[in-house]
Amino acid sequence: MKQIIAIDLAKRVFQIHIPASGESPVINKVLSRNKLLAYIANQPQSIVVMEACGTANYWSRQFEQLGHESRQISPQYVARFRIGNKNDKNDAIAISEAFSRPDMRFVPIKNIEQQDRQCLHRVRQRLVKNRTAIVNQIHGLAAEYGIDLSEGKHKMLCEVQDALEDGGNELSPIFRELLQELYLEFKDVDLKIQKLSARISQLNSVSETTQKLLTIPGVGPLSASVLGIELGDGACFKNGRHFSSYLGLVPKERSSGGKVRLLGITKRGDSYLRGLLIHGARAVVYRVKELRDPHKISIHTISYQPV
């Protein structure tokens, strides 16, 4: 039986917990970052367990290169096994206890390619939020000067241009200059989003997995890319419902005394991917009403890309 090494990850100081096995005593050890790999390399082939948090994928790959197996556990499962106050030592022990559960679920480990794709989505997601904030600010500030802008992005941009070119409105020189800056900032952020979307589509074109996912009704370039990241080779999921549970798309249950009570979805997992899938499903339902044969759905007519 392989040795279990539970690690509480951090930036510079790492807590190691190795449960007792046979004549070997329990080991609780604190290691600095520059000594961690050397210590793990000197251990016999082990199963290294850690929380699925920042840098976990990097360390998992490093440990696997040293010949060990790596496992990642969701922090919400680890917290249930923590006894006493929250500190590095108790966290490492809780990770070890969580791993010992026979029904414990593990988070798939991402490789470099998957992390690259995820970084593209994270940056794009932030830029989309920035773009939305700029739009909201333009609407709010323009309303203070009596300009009622449309909600649609493209129509709003035309109206902003008209307002800037109209010398007869009541825009002050200061606000006119500020509105021009907001308009240019919006255009700059929007261009960056388009470039990132193009890079994601380019990566999709060379991935066999994402090409297969794109054939599913309601799955567009963004959804297919993120699904490929989360699924990996699919070995971590027994079936589709298991993956749905991982994403938080299954009902929350509050049952007792033989009375089954199902509530809304659990909303676990990646909210970004869950939102893409829900919007894609909504697009499918909306388009089906317009099709003569709902069973023959063209992916090009229902692909959805959120703004």
- pLDDT (tens digit per residue) in 59-90: 999 999 999 999 999 998 899 999 989 999 99
Q: What is the pLDDT of residues 95-153, one digit of tens each?
A: 999 999 988 888 888 889 989 999 999 999 999 999 999 999 999 999 988 888 888 88
Q: What is the mean pLDDT of the chain?
A: 87
Average pLDDT over residues 40-52: 92
Q: Is pLDDT at 297 greater than 70 in this prediction?
A: no
Instruction: Quote the pLDDT of residue 96.
Output: 93
The answer, yes or no, to whether residue 48 has pLDDT greater than 70, is: yes
Rounded to 5 degrees, φ, ψ at 202 are -65, -40
Q: Is the pLDDT of residue 194 over 60?
A: yes
To the question of pTM greater than 0.95 for the whole model, the response is no
Q: Give the mean model confidence (pLDDT) for residues 17-24.
A: 82
**291 has a pLDDT exceeding 70:** no
SS3 state at 141 = helix
Mean pLDDT of 257-269: 86
Choice between 126 and 207, residue whose per-residue pLDDT is larger: 126
Look at residue 293 in the predicted model and tell me its pLDDT. 59
- Residue 167 pLDDT > 80: no
Residue 306 has pLDDT above 50, yes or no: no
Terminal alpha carbon distance of the chain: 51
Task: Give yes or no for a contact between 138 and 105, defined as CB atoms under 8 angstroms apart.
Answer: no
Would you state the pLDDT for residue 294?
53
Q: Of 125, 4, 112, 117, give the one whose Cα is nearest residue 57.
A: 112
How does residue 302 score in pLDDT terms, banded at 50, 70 and 90?
Answer: very low
- Runs of H (alpha helix) within the chain: 33-41, 56-65, 75-78, 88-100, 112-143, 153-165, 173-205, 208-213, 221-231, 240-247, 271-288, 299-302
Least confident window among 94-103, 162-171, 257-266: 162-171
Evaluate if residue 301 carries a pLDDT over 50: no
pLDDT band of 295, cuts 50, 70, 90: low
Q: What's the pLDDT score for residue 296?
A: 53
Q: What is the mean pLDDT of the segment spanning 178-185?
A: 94
Indicate if the pLDDT at residue 287 is higher than 90: no
Tokens 């419902």 identify what position? 241
Q: Is the pLDDT of residue 283 over 90?
A: no
Residue 4's H or E segment, with its range, is strand 3-8
Q: pLDDT class for 241, splitting at 50, 70, 90?
A: confident
> Of how many residues is the chain composed?
307
Q: What's 143-174 look like in SS3? A: HCCCCCCCCCHHHHHHHHHHHHHCCCCCCCHH
| Per-residue pLDDT at 182 | 94
Q: What is the pLDDT of residue 24?
A: 76
